[in-house]
């Protein structure tokens, strides 16, 4: 299957360049101050580059995004052992995750593209044949909507997210510290030293994780990193419910991005572990972009009190995320 690129565009000048390799968002061009277009997504030079090693720039992570402790889980009485590619844990679907797959283009137009991947039973050691459908839609009001639809012929687990790194001052601005962030969450999921949730929900009140009132990403970043040896934010926030999840404002470009979703959680990652990576005429370093990964909680299959990531035959798993720019 060939690797393609496709551009979504609207009358406002906003344009989104995507590829069927990992469903990656390569460019995300948004009007800012003075009607200047800013490419606000970190990315690589061309679609073919996404087959190599990179920090998951713009891709869809799956079959299970984020971490599974020890790569192990039990489902319908059977134990499964996945590959471990993050120390002792399984991360973003493993070495053969959805981000490395060439997806089928089922439909495309100036406003919409639909990607489909048929993940066979045993793919990356997951059970069940899973059909994953990801739809990108660009609306007239500068909203990029992502719809995730997953179906299976046998019980399995699934947790899809888009792993775009944003810098609302422009992808090559190199700094996100002055971005003002609001997150609509009263709790985070507590984690151990390997970033696997313990099952406890921690109140954000009085901590570095309190974004209920907007503050700059850089204000408490160092404190947050010390708490879990993450050198910054790499934490799942427990969202209050369907609707607005976050809002980010960049004072220099004047761009605001508001996130809406029906996912129960959202990972804030500030690129703390990024090695210098070349792409789109620049070199990206640590904390040159931030991710807001809407998701089911990490290690949900091993935590009975977490929202379920189980997909059963006849019952589609459906989530959406909207990134609205103004």
Q: What is the pLDDT of residue 57?
A: 98
Whether pTM > 0.95 for this model: the answer is: yes
**What's the pLDDT tens digit per position in 40-63?**
999 999 999 999 989 999 999 999
Residue among 29, 182, 293, 322 flagged as catalytic: 293
Confidence check: pLDDT of 228 > 80: no
Share of the chain above pLDDT 70, in %: 100
Kindly state the average pLDDT of the residues 307-324: 98
For all residues of the chain together, what is the average pLDDT? 97
Question: What does R_g of the chain's alpha carbons equal in angstroms?
Answer: 18
Q: What is the pLDDT of residue 17?
A: 98
Q: Is 193 a catalytic residue?
A: no
Q: What is the pLDDT of residue 272?
A: 93
Kindly state the average pLDDT of the residues 236-253: 98
Q: What is the pLDDT of residue 159?
A: 98
**What's the pLDDT tens digit per position in 78-90?**
999 999 999 999 9
Q: What are phi and psi of 58, to 5 degrees?
A: 70, 5
Kindly state the average pLDDT of the residues 122-137: 98
> Alpha-carbon distance 169 to 152, whole Å?
41
Q: Is 171 a catalytic residue?
A: no
291 CB burial (10 A radius; 0-12, 13-18, 19+):
buried
Kindly state the average pLDDT of the residues 117-129: 98
Q: What is the pLDDT of residue 111?
A: 98
Kindly state the average pLDDT of the residues 260-265: 98
Residue among 54, 90, 92, 163 flagged as catalytic: 163
Kindly state the average pLDDT of the residues 216-245: 93
Q: What is the pLDDT of residue 226?
A: 85
Domains and CATH numbers, the chain: 5-325 (2.70.98.10)
Q: What is the pLDDT of residue 1?
A: 82
> Alpha-carbon distance 109 to 105, whole Å?
11
**What's the pLDDT tens digit per position in 96-110?**
999 999 999 999 999
Confidence check: pLDDT of 229 > 80: no
CA-wise closest residue to 187 among 212, 211, 204:
204
Confidence check: pLDDT of 292 > 90: yes
> Alpha-carbon distance 176 to 146, whole Å?
24
Kindly state the average pLDDT of the residues 227-239: 91
């Amino acid at each position: 299957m060939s690797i393609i690129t496709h551009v979504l565009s609207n009358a406002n000048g906003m344009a989104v360049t995507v590829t069927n390799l990992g469903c990656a968002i390569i460019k995300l061009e948004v009007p800012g101050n003075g009607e200047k277009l800013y490419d606000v997504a970190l990315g690589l030079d061309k679609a073919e580059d996404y087959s190599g090693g990179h920090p998951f720039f713009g891709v869809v992570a799956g079959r299970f995004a984020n971490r599974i402790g020890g790569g192990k889980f039990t489902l319908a009485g059977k134990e499964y052992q996945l590959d471990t590619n993050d120390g002792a844990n399984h991360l973003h679907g493993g070495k053969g995750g959805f981000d490395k797959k060439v997806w089928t283009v089922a439909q495309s137009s100036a406003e919409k593209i639909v990607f489909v991947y048929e993940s066979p039973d045993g793919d990356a050691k997951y059970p069940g044949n899973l059909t994953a459908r990801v739809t990108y839609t660009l609306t007239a009001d500068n909203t990029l909507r992502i719809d995730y639809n997953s179906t299976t012929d046998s019980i399995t687990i699934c947790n899809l997210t888009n792993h775009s790194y944003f810098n609302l001052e422009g992808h090559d601005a190199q700094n996100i510290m002055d971005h003002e962030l609001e997150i609509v969450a009263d709790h985070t999921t507590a984690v151990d030293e390997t970033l696997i949730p313990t099952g406890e929900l921690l109140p954000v009140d009085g901590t570095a994780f309190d974004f209920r009132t907007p503050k700059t990403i850089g204000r408490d970043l160092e404190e947050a990193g010390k708490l879990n040896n993450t050198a910054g934010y790499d934490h799942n926030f427990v969202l209050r419910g369907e609707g607005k999840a976050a809002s980010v404002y960049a004072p220099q470009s004047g761009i605001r991005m508001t996130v809406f979703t029906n996912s129960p959680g959202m990972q804030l990652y500030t690129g703390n572990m990024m090695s210098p990576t070349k792409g789109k005429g620049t070199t990206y370093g640590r904390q040159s972009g931030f991710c807001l990964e809407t998701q089911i909680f990490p290690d949900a299959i091993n935590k009975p009190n977490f929202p379920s990531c189980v997909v059963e035959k006849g019952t589609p798993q459906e989530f959406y995320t909207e990134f609205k720019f103004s």
